[in-house]
């Protein structure tokens, strides 16, 4: 039985191999048939286009929430792989468009600039393809700007919707103009299956399943409780929620169907063990989560998930350390509700005792398990701890190498914890992080 890490590696490798298969079909179909060496530049341009097409489909699959991806890769690695493939795909698209443009200009005896409008004569699908390249460029540039300048999640989300438009615009030229797609041989089936499978997964798990689940579970907001320093707990009830299969430590994407909220879906962890009700606890950050304190009771909820592999199923060591910063406590609070085995340590990090959401609940659960709670409240220091009280997990926790370490908090902080844990002798596969990012 392969470890999850191995299966995740295998899945990522397989996604790249699909790209290689596209090149192989191209070559096998006589794609390198040339009459002069300069033709190889044209072939290279076509290969770049095929690779870009496969990688974009891989990206769609990675964020389709299809269970085999969510379970094998986990939401965070799926999102990271999605981002990396997106960068490679965009470079491949630029190479494809420029080489094909230059070589078509060469074959037709036109200047490169004159070739751009000349391509419109080939058909509407070439106009669409050029427009798609423009949209992809827009999305990549603005995504980079948004991440760099720390703009709001909502902006990033809106910009990303243009990708779906770009994909719709770019597909026709691949099937109508691309000669790779023309023959009805194995290559044709390869591409057809790739598109049908990928888009099918996306539709099934991003559109159809949330709607079916909304119908079946009939999730409704039943209470909205503000806490000190702005965080708010939202409890939802529905029909037969226990059959949802959600576990402590998982998160879901929530879309509240009330005026001013329904446009965006937000990822929030369950903040207690899911049963007949689901609870999330949210700290104000973007527009969406800030206003949730005013969410009307009775609001219908659409959801995707449960998502993530930050559960007790990934335990591999006799003991455990739960370490969180700020609102990152929510999935750990839910995990603490489950039966524990071995020694349990909880490390809480926050600006102040008041700013640590659900702190009283954590203490109560810790007492039930006989767990030790270590609290570090105050301004940020060099490492993961406070400036006033630098700490290291190796000295704080007994027998650290025999523990699983669950980390939830902001990325930079979690990086510092992970480095400290590794330095303290924790094996990489015993470190579990939840990075529900933007995807």
Partner 1 sequence: MRGAHAAVIVGGCAVIVGAGFAAAPPLAGGTATADPTASAAQGSQTFDGPPISNLRGTYQAQITVTDGAVTDVVALQAGTTAPESVQVNTMAIPEFKKRVLEAQTWDVDAVSGASYTSPAFLESLEGAFEEAGLK
Biggest alpha carbon–alpha carbon distance for the chain:
80
Q: Taking the complex as a whole, how short is the minimal distance between the CB of residue 166 and partner 1, in angstroms?
A: 24
Our finding on whether 193 is near partner 1 (CB under 8 A) is no
Q: Taking the complex as a whole, how short is the minimal distance between the CB of residue 25 and partner 1, in angstroms?
A: 7
Selected from 50, 92, 103, 282, the binder of partner 1 by CB under 8 A is: 103
Q: Taking the complex as a whole, how short is the minimal distance between the CB of residue 211 and partner 1, in angstroms?
A: 36
Selected from 35, 215, 242, 243, the binder of partner 1 by CB under 8 A is: 35
- Side-chain half-sphere of 390: how many Cα atoms within 13 Å? 5
Our finding on whether 98 is near partner 1 (CB under 8 A) is no
* Closer by beta carbon to partner 1, 107 or else 438: 107
Residues 106-135 that bind partner 1 (CB under 8 A): 107-108, 121-122
Our finding on whether 104 is near partner 1 (CB under 8 A) is yes
Contact indicator for 45, 110 with CB cutoff of 8 Å: no
C-alpha 365/C-alpha 347 separation (Å) is 14
C-alpha 134/C-alpha 132 separation (Å) is 5
If binding means CB under 8 A, how many residues of this protein chain bind partner 1?
36
Our finding on whether 259 is near partner 1 (CB under 8 A) is no
Contact indicator for 4, 72 with CB cutoff of 8 Å: yes
Selected from 112, 117, 124, 182, the binder of partner 1 by CB under 8 A is: 182
In sequence order, which residues have a C-beta less than 8 Å from that of residue 108 and are 6 or more positions away? 115, 118
Q: Taking the complex as a whole, how short is the minimal distance between the CB of residue 305 and partner 1, in angstroms?
A: 28
Selected from 26, 153, 156, 436, the binder of partner 1 by CB under 8 A is: 26
Residues 41-70 that bind partner 1 (CB under 8 A): 42-43, 46
Contacts by 161-165, CB closer than 8 A, 24 or more apart: 162/135, 162/138, 163/135, 163/136, 163/139, 165/132, 165/135
C-alpha 439/C-alpha 436 separation (Å) is 8
C-alpha 122/C-alpha 179 separation (Å) is 13
Helical axes 112-120 vs 124-149, angle rounded to 10°: 120
Question: How far apart, in Å, are the Cα atoms of 240 and each of 213, 221, 279, 281, 314?
Answer: 11, 15, 15, 22, 26
**Region from 34-42, 251-259, 328-336, 400-408 binding partner 1, contact rule CB under 8 A:** 34-42
* Closer by beta carbon to partner 1, 178 or else 308: 178
Q: What angle do CA 194, 200, 205 make, to 5 degrees?
A: 130
Our finding on whether 25 is near partner 1 (CB under 8 A) is yes
Contact indicator for 233, 281 with CB cutoff of 8 Å: yes
Q: Taking the complex as a whole, how short is the minimal distance between the CB of residue 21 and partner 1, in angstroms?
A: 5
CB atoms under 10 Å from CB of 124, counted, come to 11
Our finding on whether 24 is near partner 1 (CB under 8 A) is yes
Q: Taking the complex as a whole, how short is the minimal distance between the CB of residue 238 and partner 1, in angstroms?
A: 41
Q: Taking the complex as a whole, how short is the minimal distance between the CB of residue 361 and partner 1, in angstroms?
A: 38
**Region from 6-14, 136-144, 194-202, 330-338 binding partner 1, contact rule CB under 8 A:** 6-14
Residue 59 burial by Cβ neighbours in a 10 Å radius (0-12, 13-18, 19+): buried
Selected from 1, 36, 148, 150, the binder of partner 1 by CB under 8 A is: 36
Instruction: List residues binding partner 1 (CB under 8 A).
Output: 9, 12-13, 16-17, 19-21, 23-36, 39, 42-43, 46, 103-104, 107-108, 121-122, 179, 182-183, 428
């Amino acid at each position: 039985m392969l470890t999850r890490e191995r299966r995740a590696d295998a899945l990522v490798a397989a996604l790249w191999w699909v790209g290689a298969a596209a090149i192989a079909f191209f070559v096998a179909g006589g794609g390198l048939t040339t009459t002069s060496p300069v033709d190889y530049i044209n072939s290279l341009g076509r290969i770049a286009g095929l690779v870009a097409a496969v990688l974009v489909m891989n990206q769609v699959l990675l964020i389709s929430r299809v269970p085999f991806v969510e379970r094998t890769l986990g939401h965070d690695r799926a999102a990271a792989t999605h981002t990396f493939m997106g960068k490679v795909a965009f470079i491949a698209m630029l190479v494809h468009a420029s080489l094909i443009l230059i070589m078509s200009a060469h074959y037709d005896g036109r200047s490169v600039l004159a070739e751009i409008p000349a391509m419109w004569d080939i058909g509407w699908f070439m106009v669409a393809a050029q427009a798609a390249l423009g949209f992809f460029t827009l999305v990549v540039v603005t995504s980079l700007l948004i991440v760099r300048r720390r703009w709001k999640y909502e902006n990033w989300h809106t910009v990303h919707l243009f990708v779906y438009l770009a994909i719709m615009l770019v597909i026709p030229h691949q099937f109508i103009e691309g000669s790779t797609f023309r023959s009805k041989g194995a290559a044709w089936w390869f591409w057809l299956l790739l598109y049908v499978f990928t888009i099918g997964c996306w539709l099934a798990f991003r559109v159809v399943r949330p709607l079916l689940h909304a119908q079946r579970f009939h999730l409704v907001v039943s209470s909205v409780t503000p806490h000190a320093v702005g965080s708010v707990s939202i409890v939802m009830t529905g029909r037969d929620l226990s059959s949802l299969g959600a576990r402590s430590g998982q998160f879901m994407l929530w879309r509240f169907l009330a005026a001013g909220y329904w446009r965006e879906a937000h990822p929030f962890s369950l903040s207690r063990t899911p049963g007949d009700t689901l609870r999330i606890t949210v700290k104000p950050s973007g527009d969406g989560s800030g206003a949730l304190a005013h969410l009307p009771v009775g609001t219908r909820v659409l959801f995707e998930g449960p998502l993530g592999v930050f559960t007790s199923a990934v335990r591999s060591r006799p003991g455990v350390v739960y370490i969180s910063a700020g609102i990152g406590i929510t999935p750990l609070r839910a995990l603490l509700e489950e039966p524990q085995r071995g020694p349990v340590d909880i490390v809480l990090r926050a600006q102040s005792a008041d700013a640590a959401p659900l702190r009283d609940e954590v203490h109560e659960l810790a007492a039930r398990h006989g767990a030790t709670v270590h609290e570090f409240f105050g301004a940020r220091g060099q490492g993961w701890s406070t400036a006033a009280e630098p700490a290291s997990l190796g000295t704080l926790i007994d027998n650290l190498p025999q523990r699983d370490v669950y980390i939830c908090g902001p990325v930079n902080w979690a990086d510092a914890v992970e480095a400290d844990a590794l330095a303290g002798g924790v094996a990489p596969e015993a470190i579990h992080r939840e990075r529900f990012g933007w995807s």
